Amino acid sequence: MSAKAKPARFTLEFPGDPVAKEALKQKLNAYKEEMSAKVHKPVNHYEALDSLLDFWFEQNSTQHQTGYVSYHEVASDVNEELFVTTNSSAVRLSQICTAHSRHCTAPLNEKKLVKKGHVAVITLQCSNKHAYNWSSSPYLQNKKFLVNTKIVHGLTVSGLLPVQYQRFCLGANFGYIGLKNRKNLLTNYSACVDHVYEISVDCALMEESAATTNPEVGITVMSDARHSWRKNAKDTSVVVIGDKSHKVLRHQVVTKNDDPVTQRHEKLGTVKILNEFEEKSITIDIWIHDRNVSINKELSARDIMNQNDLWHGIKGLKKALQKIAAGPKKHHGKTWHNELFDKVTSVANHAHYAARNSNGDPALLQQMLLNTVQHYKSNHDQCQTISRCKTDPNFELSKKLITDSSAESLLSKTIQSSTLYKSAKDFSYGKDSHYVESYNNVLNIFTDKRIAFSSEEYELRVRLATLHWNENVDRGFTSEWQAPSAANRRSKIKKIYKKLSYDYHNEIWECFLMTINRA
Ligand SMILES: [Zn+2]
Ligand SMILES: [Zn+2]
């Protein structure tokens, strides 16, 4: 048996004579006695003085902003209940305590805590049985908690998946709102998203029309279709983006209820949008999209100029050029030629230049594409007057000269059999639809392709993605698309990140509060 260790002690020294010492001791002892009775255990000098000083600081903490602040020190129960509260609820709690202390000195203690979603409803009671109910959130006019409603709103506009929300709540343990209650809290919410969305796309349409140089000719738009999940897509959405504003002008969701055959969805969605534009007397000059023959037909029937995405056209040409630039030795001169080994990028770059400069003239585009062969044979008769081969008297070919007729014929055949050449009329304005691809990246944040959303939920998420895009396009994440180079769209990425804004969050919230107040 070891002897019990003597507890550590320290001594404080005060100035003063024995009379002062006696008076102080008397006061301190009286205080210790009262305190011991309250806490039902003996209290020593240290505990008495320490509690007195704490009390003083708590009473005076507002005058000591930079000094002692009355926060809790280290939490003793790190797994205690967490909940969300509001400013006004915190004030309300202090009012309850003040009101109680006016007629009763016993402290109010927590008697019961009930969690409702992220809200705590706490019953406070003193030893004299005075009881109060306090909730950490005020009610909205529909008798639902502000805190819970706002959190489900935040969850929805963030695009977070329900399962991510659940895991987040479980991890932090600050309450959770189940699916049924979430739906209940946001009754009529999607109508508000629709409302804000309609305003956004209508404004974008006005902006696009205003930015058009010749209103009589009409606006130029680009479209793309996207399937909601990878296999057996249930829903397809067609998005139309303005060539000048880069904003989404329309986004049409097509479901299997509209047409059981997914392959027909893009056409169906496009036709719906075309009809809507017609109803609104919006004239379309050029419509850019990935090559889809049925849409090409639909557009020409409506007398709208059809253009296909140039980048896809050039990508196809590049692939074919790679095949004639290298190969097995035994096929040299037949399927490939070593005079063409260095021509892939340069021919593709030239094709890009040609499409951008043929001003809608398909014959000119074809001529410029084919002239590449002559240029590499050092025959510059048909080259552009501004080309270096024409302007620089000391010009020398930087690529291997084509001398062999089989190399010449391989290159010209490859160019002539490319979609870019054969369908030159669909590329002669040199239009790119890369903004729709960029938009699809944003859509992926809201509609994860691995998840099968219900049609309603998918549409809601599409609208939120559109609101996010229209508010932030050309602001941050799309700036990397601003300078696509000829050969590879991603090769000259300029990343200029600006702060994103989320005004649409507030617009939806305000709209929703109005529907509650009207009800
Ligand atoms: Zn009381
Ligand atoms: Zn030339």
pLDDT in tens, 35-50: 888 778 888 999 889 8
Q: Enumerate residues with CB within 5 Å of ligand 1 (an ion).
A: 104, 106, 126, 128, 130
Which listed ligand is nearest to 350 at the C-alpha?
Answer: 2
Ligand 1 center to 112 CA (angstroms):
16
What percent of the chain has pLDDT above 70?
90
Alpha-carbon distance values, 273 to 184, 255, 282, 299 (Å): 33, 15, 11, 12
The token pair that represents 79 in the structure block: 């797994």
Ligand 1 center to 136 CA (angstroms):
21
Ligand 2 center to 387 CA (angstroms):
7
User: Which CATH number does 189-309+432-518 carry?
Assistant: 3.30.420.10
Is pLDDT above 50 for 169?
Answer: yes
pTM of the complete model: 0.77
Measured distance CA(47)–CA(51) in Å, rounded: 6
- For residue 325, which of 259, 410, 265, 230 has the smallest C-alpha distance? 410
State residue 252 phi and psi, 5-degree precision: -110, 125
Ligand 1 center to 58 CA (angstroms):
21
pLDDT at 91: 96
Which listed ligand is nearest to 382 at the C-alpha?
Answer: 2
**DSSP letters for 96-121:** HHHHHHTT--SPPEEEEEEEETTEEE
Q: What amino acid is encoded at 471 in this protein?
A: E
What's the mean per-residue pLDDT of the chain? 88
Q: Looking at residues 287-294, what average pLDDT do you find?
A: 87
pLDDT at 75: 66
- Which residues are paired to 121 by β-bridges? 114, 135
Measured distance CA(369)–CA(430) in Å, rounded: 13
Domain chopping of the chain, boundaries: 87-185, 189-309+432-518, 311-426
Measured distance CA(408)–CA(340) in Å, rounded: 9
pLDDT at 434: 85
Alpha-carbon distance values, 403 to 373, 382, 407, 411 (Å): 11, 18, 8, 12
CA 471, 474, 480, 482 torsion-angle sign: positive
Alpha-carbon distance values, 40 to 33, 35, 140 (Å): 10, 8, 44
**Are the CB atoms for 243 and 220 separated by under 8 Å?**
yes
- For residue 238, which of 190, 294, 188, 281 has the smallest C-alpha distance? 294
Tracing tokens 């010492």 back to the chain, one arrives at 21
What percent of the chain has pLDDT above 90?
64
pLDDT in tens, 183-215: 999 988 999 999 999 999 999 999 999 998 887
pLDDT in tens, 330-370: 999 999 999 999 999 999 999 999 999 999 999 999 999 99
**Pseudo-torsion of CA 71, 76, 80, 82, nearest 10°?**
30
- pLDDT grade, residue 511 (50/70/90)? very high
pLDDT in tens, 371-402: 999 999 999 999 988 888 889 988 888 899 99
pLDDT in tens, 142-151: 999 999 999 9
Ligand 2 center to 330 CA (angstroms):
32
Ligand 1 center to 95 CA (angstroms):
14
Ligand 1 center to 121 CA (angstroms):
19
Q: Looking at residues 483-510, what average pLDDT do you find?
A: 70
Ligand 2 center to 24 CA (angstroms):
105
Ligand 2 center to 336 CA (angstroms):
23
Is pLDDT above 60 for 492?
Answer: no
Which listed ligand is nearest to 125 at the C-alpha?
Answer: 1
- Which residues are paired to 307 by β-bridges? 288
